Structure 1
C-alpha cells in the first residue's frame, strides 16, 4: 500500500480532527472560504462560488487519483469546519512529501489549530509512513506563514526565485522549509510541551 492510500485515515488529538476530504464537505468549507485574506498568497484565487467549486472539485479529483491526501480540519472546541491541509508532492521512492495547500478560516487563525494540524501530519509522515523528509513552501512575501513554520520547528532552507506564476501575473519566489527524520523525536517533544503558540497557515 502506497503512502497516499496509507494516509487516508483520520488524525486527531484534543484540539483538532483531520480526516480525508469528502464530497459532502463542500458547503461547510465554502462557508469559511470566501474570505479574500485566505487567498492573498495562494496559487489559486477564490472570489466566487464557481471559483470555490472548481477548487473543491480539483481537491477531490487529486485525492481520488492519489496525487494528494486532502484533509478537512475540524476545530474540536467548537465542532466547526476550520479549513484544510494536504499531503502533496508525494515522492515515496525518495522518502519525501510536502505538507501544503494549507488554509484556515478567519475564526481559526492564531488559535493553535495550524500548529496542531501540522503536528498530526508530521507525526503521520514520520511515524506511520516512514518519511525521511517533510517539506513546506510558501510565498516569500507571506511573513505570517514563514513565522508559523518556524514556530513548528521547520528549518528555512532557502528561496527558489521566480518559482511559479500567481493570480494577477506576479511570479512567486518560493521559500522552502523542511523537517528531517532525525529531527523529529526532539521536535515532537518540544511541540507537545509548548504552551499554545500563535501561528498562521
Structure 2
C-alpha cells in the first residue's frame, strides 16, 4: 500500500510510525481571466522569486491554466515569512475550511500586479493550501512498515517532481527495494533509518 496523503500523513499512518513532517499554511491567489487577457498572458513563463519587504519570503507564479469550472486563471502562491505550524488534524481542517487566508488578498494581488503589469482580472480569490516540510528538505520515500510505503513531504517544491517521486515510491512498493540506480535512497529515508 502507498501512503501519499501530504499534510495528513501523520493522521492516517499507523500508530507509532516514524514519519516526521511539519505542516505549514500557505496561500494562493487566483485571477480569473477573460478571453482577451488569456491570449495576452498565454506566453507567460513560470516564475520563482525570493522576496524582501513583504509578508512572504518567496513566490511562484505559473502561466494561465484552465480550471474545472470552465474558467482560466493565473495562479500565484507565496510562502509566509512568519507562520504557526498546523500541528493537528483539527488545526489543518480549520485552516482549510476557514477564511483567514482572505486577509492576504490585497498583498497577494499586489504581487501579481507587480509581476504582470496591467493585468485585468474578472475576479480575484485566495485559497488556503498546506505544505509539509521534512528535516532533510527532500520528500520522504521509504517503507513505513512492511508492505506500506510513504511518499510525503513535498517541502513546497514537489509539484514539478510529482511524477518522479511517484515512480520512486511505486518502484519501492512493487519491488520491495529502492530501484533508482542513480539516486541514493539515504536522503529520502525516514529520519530513523537515514
Larger RCO, structures 1/2 (Cα 8 Å, 6+ apart): 2
Q: TM-score, normalised by structure 1?
A: 0.24
Q: Computing the radius of gyration over CA atoms, which structure comes out larger, 1 or 2?
A: 2
Indicate the structure with greater helix content.
1
